[in-house]
Structure 1
């Protein structure tokens, strides 16, 4: 599971008390940064077969530079939508466009170096007594391309390196950001509303039937699909978080043909239509007068069971033919991680009066990170 490394590393660090400071048996952590690095380690292992350990590094390693370049490139790309002079800036290589070019260079060097190295490994594996072929995503794509095109494994003739770069970057960006950011916002809201933490704690205990003295491994084994399915309040709290803080705050679709929208507005073939899940989640027209209030109970019926809204109203996962294929997987990841952490720790902000803001990127990052204290239960 993509974020399981985040759980084990976080609990390991708490157990070893290896964070910079600890007072009153609580541990301070940069929560969003921890999740991002753990997710990056895991997704790079899945896509490239690389063990970079950015989680244990000081931030100046190759993996951390790559992750920072991806975040910055996302922000600079978004600026193209609001900066009418971006094409001129790109031509003159100044401002955000110059910075974007530098970040893309870092990303390309990182990715192409691994593609070339994997190509050499695949060539060696094809020889008698060669290397054992890897089973990461990049290797599988390269092997499939070689088989399809009939060329020697890993050769330039058989594999389009730019195509491979685009594929693996899509996987890295999707796996690195969306669930991590949703969880970061969830824990921020849980800190602002301590009752949510306590209710999740009670629900998780009832659903898993794990005793108070259960170890982390024992508790993890109790998180079956059946147990996760009983966690209606946790599911509601995560969904309420995504309503207010969707991972993709702005999205767009291109029209394949001329059409008329439900409100009578005409669109033509090739037109790009934007919709804004961040704004839709806060509209009183859709959610009532308390639209801006964090209230997980709005998703529960009288029996306390989760009730889904129309995906055309709750658009965090899109809707229709383009609905997110990873929706259920994302919920499962988030529920497992939230259940484990809230089962063993109580979280609070380092500065309980502080309000966080978002960073304007393609995805909804918390600006300057999320700084929490975790106290063992």
Structure 2
């Protein structure tokens, strides 16, 4: 964040903090109701912004559910599974995005599924659910994941076999690989940003990431609307980034519309495989509608998956024995020999093979437990309510549930909650056993549960199996401290540099 706008925001916030606390304290005084304890103010969140999820985890460990005060709204943060289930399922209709969240999100996401409620949400939910549950899309997606996993392995091979065993910034590669995959699935277009030649794709990816950071900052910056009006600070950056995102997406969508309207061949099957082509055939031809849907699915399928894979590789480098165990599981399930190529490895990863890799699935779940791709998520309370814990919330309160904090709470996961232990996900027979979605809340739950959960696991398992089956990964600098960057998602700040050495004699694709 720039110094000038930060200084102004903090100065004003500090002056208003006492007023805010007094105002909220009076508002919460009701002899007939109990309200959650106040743990701090938005000023504390601003001060702790670089380590925001650590700070909120500390508060969750102390209070479980608590309030944070600011001048304009109440905010209740919970790490209680019973409260989370009540908000996301039991009393679902009383909690949604509302006008407050819509105003924060719509500049970037438009009327996409993550920004809206009501009929708009139901329509897009139905459309997206129907599209991504079809066998055509599932098979097409798996083929795309395999193709891009092999491309990724090829790039790693070039670095691993160079004279200097070049360090690889693998998070950047994951970002490009997942972007290439989601654009292919949505639009049927080969972006090939992994090659580094697509400047438009690179600018889009950067603008997309920067826009997420600015959007999250709006949640704790009470002056963001003023900054937007003045076009200063993060709001100026966000405006520029939204323009870059729009130029990129509209160009692709308009290109796809032109291709569908003026086909060069009659291969109907191929045209139906990508998401936008199928929507165009259903006469959904409004570019703005398609842009909003494509961006929201990209939000769900690119940055989140890439950050999860990055933390997964980081954990594999910190726990080499687990990395070896996964590599052995992959090799045994597909009967991989040292003289087989990466292409053959990827081709062997059908759904049956992936389903027979419980330890890989457990390790990915353990990674996501500790490093959820969306560390916090919010809803607005539409009318006064009382939660299962006996405390009340008010109409207009923002309600935040915290996957990052919940994944680290001893009360939920035991005394070893902060340890990386994939075995906690396996039963006595070594089979994967899932947890309640209201405890393991990384994919949300209830009617708004993530539609792409199975697609995300499939993509992560294919990429993980190809890479760990082909290479041994170690950190380029074992002493470097790895931390997250505070955004809507949870990327590794500054990227993740690793070195790879081939496992396979024919490791080159």
- Give the TM-score range, shorter chain: 0.7 to 0.9
Q: List aligned pairs for 1:269-284, cutoff 5 A.
A: 271-284=397-410
Distance 2:151 2:336 in 1: 22
Tell me the CA shift for residue 106 of structure 1. 0.9
Q: Per the alignment, in what secondary structure is the counterpart of residue 358 of structure 1?
A: coil
Q: Per the alignment, in what secondary structure is the counterpart of residue 204 of structure 2?
A: helix
Q: Per the alignment, in what secondary structure is the counterpart of residue 372 of structure 1?
A: strand
> Equivalent of 1:98, from 217, 236, 244?
236
Tell me the CA shift for residue 103 of structure 1. 0.5
Cα deviation 1:186-240 (Å, max 9, x = unaligned): 0101101111111112222222233333322332333233332232221111111
Distance 2:303 2:262 in 1: 35
Q: Per the alignment, in what secondary structure is the counterpart of residue 253 of structure 1?
A: strand
Question: Would the alpha carbon gap of residues 282 and 14 (structure 1) be closer, same or farther in structure 2, given more than 3 Å must change?
Answer: closer
Aligned: 1:372 with 2:498: yes
Cross-structure match for 1:113? 251
CA contact (8 A) 1:124 1:130 kept: no
Cross-structure match for 1:35? 174
Distance 1:186 1:130 in 2: 42
Distance 2:239 2:161 in 1: 35
Question: Would the alpha carbon gap of residues 319 and 22 (structure 1) be closer, same or farther in structure 2, given more than 3 Å must change?
Answer: farther
Question: Would the alpha carbon gap of residues 98 and 288 (structure 1) be closer, same or farther in structure 2, given more than 3 Å must change?
Answer: same
Distance 1:371 1:326 in 2: 28
Greater CA deviation, 50-59 or 199-208? Answer: 50-59
Q: How many residues align?
A: 358
Aligned: 1:78 with 2:216: yes
CA contact (8 A) 1:5 1:39 kept: no
Alignment root-mean-square deviation, CA: 2.4
Distance 1:327 1:123 in 2: 33
Q: List aligned pairs for 1:34-53, cutoff 5 A.
A: 34-53=173-192
Tell me the CA shift for residue 14 of structure 1. 4.1
> Equivalent of 1:266, from 362, 379, 392?
392
Tell me the CA shift for residue 245 of structure 1. 0.1
Tell me the CA shift for residue 255 of structure 1. 4.1
Aligned: 1:69 with 2:236: no
Distance 1:131 1:206 in 2: 43
Tell me the CA shift for residue 350 of structure 1. 0.4
Q: List aligned pairs for 1:185-264, cutoff 5 A.
A: 185-255=311-381, 258-264=384-390
Structure 1 unaligned regions, length at least 5: 147-158
Distance 1:252 1:361 in 2: 14
Tell me the CA shift for residue 163 of structure 1. 1.6
Cross-structure match for 2:460? 334
Greater CA deviation, 206-215 or 233-242? Answer: 206-215
Cross-structure match for 1:176? 302
CA contact (8 A) 1:19 1:27 kept: yes
CA contact (8 A) 2:301 2:456 kept: no
Question: Would the alpha carbon gap of residues 113 and 13 (structure 1) be closer, same or farther in structure 2, given more than 3 Å must change?
Answer: closer
Which structure is higher in helix share? 2
Q: Per the alignment, in what secondary structure is the counterpart of residue 309 of structure 1?
A: coil
Cα deviation 1:298-355 (Å, max 9, x = unaligned): 2222332222221111111122232222222222221222112111111001001222
Q: Per the alignment, in what secondary structure is the counterpart of residue 65 of structure 1?
A: helix
Q: List aligned pairs for 1:150-165, cutoff 5 A.
A: 159-165=285-291
Tell me the CA shift for residue 241 of structure 1. 0.4
Distance 1:107 1:277 in 2: 28
Q: List aligned pairs for 1:333-352, cutoff 5 A.
A: 333-352=459-478
TM-score, normalising length: structure 2:
0.65
> Equivalent of 1:89, from 218, 222, 227?
227
Cα deviation 1:272-323 (Å, max 9, x = unaligned): 3111100111111111222111111222223322222211111111222322
Q: Per the alignment, in what secondary structure is the counterpart of residue 220 of structure 1?
A: helix
Cα deviation 1:348-375 (Å, max 9, x = unaligned): 0100122211111111111111111001
Tell me the CA shift for residue 21 of structure 1. 5.1
CA contact (8 A) 1:72 1:100 kept: yes
TM-score, normalising length: structure 1:
0.87
Cα deviation 1:239-265 (Å, max 9, x = unaligned): 110110001101123446553211112
Which of the pair has the greater relative contact order for Cα pairs under 8 Å at 6+ separation? 2
Question: Would the alpha carbon gap of residues 5 and 181 (structure 1) be closer, same or farther in structure 2, given more than 3 Å must change?
Answer: farther
Q: Per the alignment, in what secondary structure is the counterpart of residue 500 of structure 2?
A: strand
Cα deviation 1:59-111 (Å, max 9, x = unaligned): 7x111111111111111101001111101101111000011001111111222
CA contact (8 A) 1:189 1:241 kept: yes
